[in-house]
Structure 1
Amino acid sequence: MITLRKATAEDASAVADVWLRSFNAALPTVVRPHSDDEVRDHFREFVVPRQDTWVAEAGGALVGVMVLHGELLSQLHLAPDWRGRGLGDRFVQLAKELSPQGLNLWTFQINKPAHRFHERHGFVAVEYTDGSDNEEREPDVRYVWKP
């Protein structure tokens, strides 16, 4: 059974680990500007305590994370072995319930599976950039969902 719940301070390390595993599996060619330890610090000190952070828990382990910042769906990451099992669908449905006026998100242009996923959920690509405004310097795309 998979449970979606708000993250707690005690979840921060596991949340960061899910993010790291997901990012490394989905985007192996994207250079991360921060070390694993810096990522863990960021989740512990900023993301989990200050943003609307949700986790998916299965069998006592965290297997997914979603972070909302107002209408921005800023993070949606799943443990690699949990992709394609409907968990991302559940997170997007929750995000839409929590932000019924609409959502937007950024993803890298190279991440074609994410494009297909978000488009399947009604998101529309509205802006493409050369990546000069993100830390990775990776071309990205902004998606918007309106009810």
Structure 2
Amino acid sequence: MIRVANKDDLPALVSIWYEASVEAHDFIPASFWQSQKTNMQEVYLPGADTWVYYQDGRLAGFICHHQGFIPALFVDKAYQSQGIGQQLLTFLKTQYPVLSLAVYAKNSAAHRFYQRHGFVETQRKGCEHSGEEEVHMHWHQA
């Protein structure tokens, strides 16, 4: 089930984000992600429109939207490779006709995931927070 996130979801969302970020981005020190936890809970998540995927009585993943941009799509490790990310992305595509995002170039699995779902690369540039190269991607409804 996909529903709008609420403030009670924030601790679980931050936990999913942190664990997935550390695993998917092993080229960035875990201390970087640790240093971002407070901002994630107090600034980034509350400042975005966020939907959660709820399964088996718990939050399995989430997606955020902010001004045409997808700043976050994360799935709990226990629920990965079950189509939850695809369902969240498909849901968001029904809400907005144009979407953009950035994914780390070294995160080839995520890059391929977005390509499979119709996103095309528009540019590459360094991330202002981590210094790692990001691939900026765009999708629009046909």
TM-score, normalised to structure 2, is 0.91
1:91 aligned to 2:126?
no
The match for 2:40 is 43
1:144 aligned to 2:138?
yes
1:119 aligned to 2:115?
yes
Secondary structure of the corresponding residue to residue 57 of structure 1: strand
The alignment of Structure 1 onto Structure 2 pairs a total of residues equal to: 141
For 1:30-80, what per-residue CA distance to the aligned partner results, in whole angstroms no more than 9, with x for missing partners? 1356453641x2233223332101111112221111110021011001112
CA distance in 2, matches of 1:70, 1:31: 29
Structure 2 counterparts to residues 97-108 of structure 1, below 5 A: 97-100=94-97, 102-108=98-104
CA distance in 1, matches of 2:59, 2:116: 25
Contact 1:7–1:48, Cα closer than 8 Å, also in 2: no
Contact 2:22–2:33, Cα closer than 8 Å, also in 1: no
- The equivalent position to 1:15 in structure 2, one of 13, 22, 26, is 13
- Structure 1 unaligned blocks of 5 or more: none
Contact 1:124–1:145, Cα closer than 8 Å, also in 2: yes
Secondary structure of the corresponding residue to residue 29 of structure 2: coil
Secondary structure of the corresponding residue to residue 46 of structure 2: helix
Contact 2:21–2:33, Cα closer than 8 Å, also in 1: no
Secondary structure of the corresponding residue to residue 28 of structure 2: coil
**Identity score, percent:** 26
- Structure 2 unaligned blocks of 5 or more: none
Structure 1 runs, 4 residues or longer, greater than 4 Å off: 32-35
The match for 1:135 is 129
